[in-house]
Structure formats: C-alpha cells, structure tokens
C-alpha cells in the first residue's frame, strides 16, 4: 500500500469545559472546524514501522513510539514507513499530533484496515474528530461527534511561538463545571451571523492559557484590532489564536499587516470547513 494523507489544522471555534469525571477526564462541548493548511503524510507498507520527518516544525518531534502517528499505525495493525512533513507548530492548540494520527487512521480505514473502535479516543480527545476532519460539535471526552453545517469562514491563524503545556492550562481552570453551548446550533445565513453567535460562546481555556503565556494577550489584541475582524479567540489550549473575517481578501490583508509587525510569528490566512 502507498497512500498520501493530509492532516489539517484543527480549530476550536468554541471550547466549553462542562465538567470533570472521576477518572480525571474533562468533559467538553466544542465547535471544531478544520483549516486548509496542515501536515502531510506519505505511507508505504513495509517490514518495519518507522517515521521520517521533514518540514518547518520537524525539530523536536519524536520518531519512535512516543509519536501519535506511530501509535495510530501500530494500533491499527499496519506496518511500514511514514514520511511526515510537519507544517504545523506543535503544542499550539491546533491538534498537530492528533490531526496526524487521525489522518493515518482515516487513510488506513479507507484502505480496508479495521480500526479498533476504542483506538482513536485512546490516542487523545481530539483524534476522533480529526479522523473526519470536517466541521463538528465535539462533546463528552471527545467521543461524541455531531457533524454541523457552517457558512464559508475565512480566518487568520497566528501563533507567537509560545509552547503552552496543556496540563498547566487545565490545572489553571478556576471552574470546571461551566455551561455548555446551546442545545441547537443555528443555521447561519452568513459568516457574519456565525461570528455574532460565536461571540456569545467561550473558550474556557483562554484565561488560564493567557496566564501561562502572556504573549497570547498581544496576539489577541493585534487580531482584534485588525481591519474587518469579526471575532478573535484562542484555539484549544493555545497559544494559536484566530480571527474571522468577512472575506478571504480581508484575512490575507490582516496577515500582511500583522506579519509586517511580527515577522517571527507563525501567521496563515486560511479557509475553514
């Protein structure tokens, strides 16, 4: 088997922490979308399981069983070489490793492999939703996935280079029993309507992440101040933040403006699905 896979950046438009189970897992209610930027993988069946790395963010990524890609392939009973081109920053709240693992499981399923039902969630809360890589509401500990239909959304992703440990962010939560999103997500007539509804929702991890990485304050401030920005918020546990814009042109103009001021930041204008 030879196969190619695309692992898109995962963006949490909302992330409500609604409780905590006795086993320590947090309960979430999150509206998740995927960007048209991401990592790329090439899989080729062989006698040994191995990973080779390339790309902008290859440095520091493990090439052994610590890598979720390795764990996904091994758990599915597949053996061979995986070439992973890392274009997404890691520890950035956009599901880099989870999206890579989800992409591997998805392509293996399409090639006839029987994926154990409990494998995706065992790799991480984001892996099940990343297997589908389409707009969805993610609830529970990541096991409940409900597809949603959203209008075309244009966004700017910005990461200041800060690595934010997920554990430290969850530890900093002041409340773990917060309100979920409304029971029904509306049928939005436009991106503007969607952004207005999203502004009434939250990312409960944003406040503790900002305490861990104050750079997030500057990113959110710059995004909020950019021309035609409709909403600025942090994704996941950070430090990547996003802003929504009414047009693709507006997102690209904001990328140029912020990039001129902050050339060392990771900045990508994207479409979200």
Residues ≥6 apart with Cβ < 8 Å to 208 = 168, 169, 170, 171, 172, 173, 174
Q: What is the pLDDT of residues 42-71, one digit of tens each?
A: 999 999 999 999 999 999 999 999 999 999
Q: Cβ distance 142 to 231 under 8 Å? A: no
- Cα 92 to Cα 183, 211, 237, 240: the distances in Å are 29, 15, 7, 5
The pTM for the full model equals 0.97
Q: Which residues are known catalytic residues?
A: 10, 126
pLDDT of residue 91: 86
Among candidate residues 13, 11, 10, the one with its CA nearest the CA of residue 39:
10
Low-confidence ranges of the chain (pLDDT < 50): none
Q: What is the pLDDT of residues 68-95, one digit of tens each?
A: 999 999 999 999 999 999 999 988 999 9
What domains does the chain contain, in order, with CATH numbers? Answer: 2-147 (3.30.230.10), 153-272 (3.30.70.890)
pLDDT of residue 154: 98
């Amino acid at each position: 088997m030879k196969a190619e896979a695309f692992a898109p950046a995962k963006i949490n438009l909302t992330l409500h922490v609604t409780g905590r189970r006795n086993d320590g897992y947090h309960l979430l209610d999150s509206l998740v979308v995927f960007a048209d930027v991401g990592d790329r993988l090439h899989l080729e069946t062989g006698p040994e399981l191995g990973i080779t790395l390339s790309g902008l963010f290859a440095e520091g990524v493990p090439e052994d069983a610590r890598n979720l890609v390795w764990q996904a392939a091994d758990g599915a009973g597949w053996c061979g070489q995986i070439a992973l081109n890392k274009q997404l920053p890691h520890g950035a709240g956009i599901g880099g490793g989870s999206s890579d693992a989800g992409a591997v499981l998805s392509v293996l399923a399409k090639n006839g492999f029987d994926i154990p039902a409990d494998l995706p969630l065992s790799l991480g809360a984001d892996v099940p939703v990343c297997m589908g890589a389409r707009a969805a509401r993610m609830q529970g500990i990541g096991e409940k996935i409900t597809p949603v239909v959203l209008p075309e959304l244009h966004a700017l992703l910005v990461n200041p280079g800060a690595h934010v440990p997920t554990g430290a962010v969850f530890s900093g939560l002041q409340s773990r029993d917060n309100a979920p999103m409304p029971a029904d997500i509306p049928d939005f007539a436009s991106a503007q309507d969607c952004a207005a509804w999203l502004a009434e929702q939250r990312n409960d991890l944003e406040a503790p992440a900002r305490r861990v990485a104050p750079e997030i304050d500057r990113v959110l401030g710059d995004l909020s101040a950019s021309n035609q920005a409709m909403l600025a918020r942090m994704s996941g546990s950070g430090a990547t933040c996003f802003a929504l814009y009414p047009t693709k042109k507006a997102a690209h103009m904001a990328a140029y403006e912020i990039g001129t001021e902050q050339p060392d930041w990771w900045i990508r204008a994207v479409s979200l699905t």
